[in-house]
Structure 1
Amino acid sequence: MANESALRSCLVWLAVVMAAVGVCTHSFMKVVVTYFVGMLGIAGVLLPDWDYFDRDVSSWCTSITVDDIGPNDVQRPGSHRFRFYPIRTVIYATIYGFGLYKWWSYITH
């Protein structure tokens, strides 16, 4: 249920940003680009299998087994979702930062 509410709020904010881009630029193409960039960004945060990616980066090339998921993870899904891993944070910051930079460059020109 928490993912549904997060998805709803992200989609509402995306609609607000699209409306602001449309009003400020008067360009339908820039609104469409904003929609696709926003949907890719939302999908990149909300859709990944966090049990798989919520491990050390060096373990990402190996498959996850039921034994890797502890009993606390099954009882309280999503409770450890935002566990801090520096390398994963750098990867996300680099990808999303570059995407936002390219989107902003397109919108402002």
Structure 2
Amino acid sequence: MADDVAFRSCLVRLAAVVVLVGLYTQSFKKMLATYLFGIFAIGGVLLPDWDYFDRSISQWCTPFSVDHDMDAGSRSAHFPTTPARFRIYPVRMVIYVVVYGFGLYKWWMYISN
């Protein structure tokens, strides 16, 4: 439920940014580019399977399985209570900074011209 609230609030903020870009640039193409960039950015942060990526980076290419028949008590022993989205991992942060930084730079260059 909290993920739905975060997703909805991000979409509302994106709509506000798209409207502001449209008013500033008077360009439908730039509004569309802003919307697409925003959707991919929101999807990249909110949609990944964090249990899968919450492993060593060397194991990201190996299959991942979770026992669905575990009860809640044994599951809490294996999975921390803090959502993985809010834990900071250096490699993940470097990947996000590089990808989103480059995307934001290209978007800004397109909008400002």
1:107 maps to 111
Which of 87, 93, 99 is the equivalent residue of 1:89? 93
3-state SS in 2 of match to 1:4: helix
1:48-100 CA-to-partner distances (Å, cap 9, x unmatched) read: 11110112211111111226x97116695x63332221011000110000000
Give the number of equivalent residue pairs. Answer: 107
2:20 maps to 20
Deviant stretches of 4+, over 4 Å: 73-76
Q: Which runs of 5+ in 1 are unaligned?
A: none
Give the TM-score, by structure 1 length. 0.88
3-state SS in 1 of match to 2:86: coil
Q: Which runs of 5+ in 2 are unaligned?
A: none
User: Identity over aligned residues, as a percent?
Assistant: 55
Q: Does the 8 Å contact 1:54/1:83 carry over to 2? A: no
